[in-house]
Amino acid sequence: MEILIDSSVLIAAERGAFDLGSFLDQHAEDGFAISAVTASEMLHGVHRANPEHRPRREAFVEHLLSRIPVVAFDLVAARIHARVWADLACKGAGLGAHDLLIAATALATGATVATRDLRSFSNVPGLSTMAL
């Protein structure tokens, strides 16, 4: 089983509130990755950081990107995304655009989403989540 790590986990690790290294070591056999959307979210944080914090944040993100594989959003994920988006919209259930892309990527690859924000992913049928 592959684990798709959500940005909420990575942000907690950057802030010292989560031991990402231990988590990655414990789940090395399971395999882990981040979605391209999560990579974008983390890089966005680098660009928005004030000049005082930017070098530290950039070093953290670049280290992540060198160690954790990135899963692209492809046509399979796009088809799943469209279906889930339509289903949730018909039910009046909301999910942030980025979280919906991450969920579709996880569903397309059969991955479990590791997150500190279960509420955001709880409305997605068939999505496996792991609370951290």
Identify the helix (H) or strand (E) that includes residue 15: none
pTM of this structure: 0.93
Q: 36: which strand partners?
A: none
Q: Domain-by-domain residue ranges, the chain?
A: 3-131
pLDDT tens, position by position, 70-122: 999 999 999 999 999 999 999 988 789 999 999 999 999 999 999 999 888 99
46-56 pLDDT tens trace: 999 999 999 99
Residue 16: which region, alpha, beta or left (left: phi > 0; alpha: psi -120 to 50)? Answer: left
User: Angle at CA 18, nearest 5°, toward 15 and 23?
Assistant: 140
Element (H, E) at 1: none
Fold of the CATH domain 3-131: Rossmann fold (3.40.50)
Which of helix, strand or coil describes residue 40? Answer: helix
List strand residue ranges (DSSP E) for 1-132, in order: 3-5, 32-35, 70-71, 112-115, 128-131
